[in-house]
Amino acid sequence: MISVLIVEDDLSLQRLYEMMLKTFGFNVLAKASNGKDAIDVFISLDIKPDVILMDHRMPVKNGIDTTIEILKCNSHSKIIFVSADKSIKKEALSIGASRFIEKPFSVTKLHEEINKVVQNP
């Protein structure tokens, strides 16, 4: 079963992602509402998630800085950036994000991208 960490400050989107992921048969290991919490949660997890869904614009620490710190902890982490801010796509991919999905997106797109990331180490 594919495990996911959701990093999203909009709680309604957080819940929506969780419902979609569970519908796909994925396991939501944890959720975080800002970058600092995401790093703390990631470090505390004994078993790391297969995929991290990462928002960009969040309080305390943005998605770029959070991605950099998570990848310092575990360079094998698969991070899918999910943001309406397409101007940061190039930067997100250049620092090590596996994929970039522009909001809004379809349920099918999310499912496909997670499967691609997990199947292509």
Q: How far is the C-alpha of 46 from the C-alpha of 7, rounded, in Å? A: 18
> Average pLDDT in the 113-117 region?
95
pLDDT of residue 16 exceeding 80, the answer is yes
User: Nearest-CA neighbor of 19 among 47, 60, 8?
Assistant: 8
What was the pLDDT predicted at 121? 62
Please provide the CATH number assigned to the domain covering 1-84: 3.40.50.2300
Confidence of residue 20 (pLDDT cuts 50, 70, 90): very high
> Average pLDDT in the 39-52 region?
96
What was the pLDDT predicted at 6? 98
- By the 10 Å C-beta count (0-12 exposed, 13-18 middle, 19+ buried), 59 is classed as exposed
Q: CB of 54 within 8 A of CB of 64?
A: no
Domain ranges of the chain: 1-84
pLDDT of residue 33 exceeding 80, the answer is yes
Inter-axis angle of helices 35-44 and 63-73, nearest 10: 20
> Average pLDDT in the 20-25 region?
94
Confidence of residue 120 (pLDDT cuts 50, 70, 90): confident
For 51-110, the pLDDT digits (tens) are: 999 999 999 999 999 999 999 999 999 999 999 998 999 999 999 999 999 999 998 999
